[in-house]
Amino acid sequence: MLLILQSQAEFKENPLVYEYVTAIATIFLVVFVIVVILIWLFKVIEGLYVDFIGGKPFYRHFYFFVKELKPNQKKILENEFNFYKLLNKKEQRFFRHRVCKFINKIEFIGKEGITIKDEHLVLVSATAVMITFGFRKYLIEALDTIIIYPKHYYSKQSNQDHKGEYNPRMKALVLSWKDFIEGYAIEDDNLNLGIHEVVHAVHLNSLKEKDISAYLFKIRFIELTNFIEKNPHIREKLTKTKYIRDYAFTNHFEFVSVLVENFIETPSEFRSQFPEIYVIVKQMLNFNFAGY
């Protein structure tokens, strides 16, 4: 302690050095305060833009370093995930980066003889990245684990057989691989297990997180439910046309998951039949699947 006090005393006795260090420290402090204020102003302005003008986040992609998938993983993505093929080269690069980050974040667990391979990692991760591709914060904080069964399984949570489920308490997504693959076998039947269950995780995440993408998903969902409640003829049309399957009307969570399944698998038909709802869902996801 005595040595420290002596050093400080010697330091102050040298006015030039003391003034120089004090000036540098002051500059750093001022810059830090300005940066904090600018970040705060950015968030406020972006929030006001979304709230009052009906806009979207100012940007989606910003990375200091873009990660790359392993060659075999990249090949799986290119050959087996059609959404990826429809992106331009720049978007594909960002998509691969996000898939790589998602794989690194999530713990994948195989059950009943399933050994986790690149196909599981890439296709499930690509499904999540596809849904959040319009988000700035695309990693789902409410999701830590993905459990894969070979086929339908018995769930202790509901005491019945399941093809898939999202457990918010465990932050876990559980999928039947057989049904996951079948969801992509027919790409326009509006039945996709992977999309459906990931949307549940995104939906719950939006209720807890405060980033702009989660906020946008949440407020547009509220707007959607208010729109349908105020327009009973829309709900009547939804049920009569059978374009939206009956399971959607189980509760709000199932409703939004089924809507996103339709939005991704048959976007043009969705936009044609229910243009107002289509626009709101597009704003929720901040992505136009009909036009890619």
Per-residue pLDDT tens over the stretch 272-290: 999 999 999 999 999 887 6
* % residues pLDDT > 70 (the chain): 86
* pLDDT at site 24: 80
* pLDDT at site 48: 67
63 in a structural domain: no
CA atoms within 13 A on the CB side of 148: 23
Same-domain check for residues 104 and 9: no
Same-domain check for residues 213 and 115: yes
The parent domain of residue 38 ranges over 2-52
228 in a structural domain: yes
249 in a structural domain: yes
Same-domain check for residues 184 and 238: yes
Binned at pLDDT 50, 70 and 90, residue 292 comes out as very low
Query: Does pLDDT of 1 surpass 70?
Result: no
Same-domain check for residues 133 and 180: yes
Same-domain check for residues 10 and 98: no
Query: For the chain, how are helix, strand and coil distributed in percent, rounded to 5?
Result: 65, 10, 30
Looking at the DSSP bridge assignments, the partners of residue 110 are 148
Query: Does pLDDT of 6 surpass 70?
Result: no
61 in a structural domain: no
pTM for this model (two decimals): 0.84
Same-domain check for residues 116 and 163: yes
* pLDDT at site 2: 45
* pLDDT at site 59: 75
Q: Distance between CA atoms of 189 and 9, rounded to whole angstroms? A: 78
Reduce the DSSP state of residue 254 to 3 states and report it: helix
According to the per-residue pLDDT averaged within each range, which of 51-55, 131-135, 212-216 is highest? 131-135
Same-domain check for residues 160 and 245: yes
Same-domain check for residues 12 and 148: no
Rg over CA atoms, the chain: 24
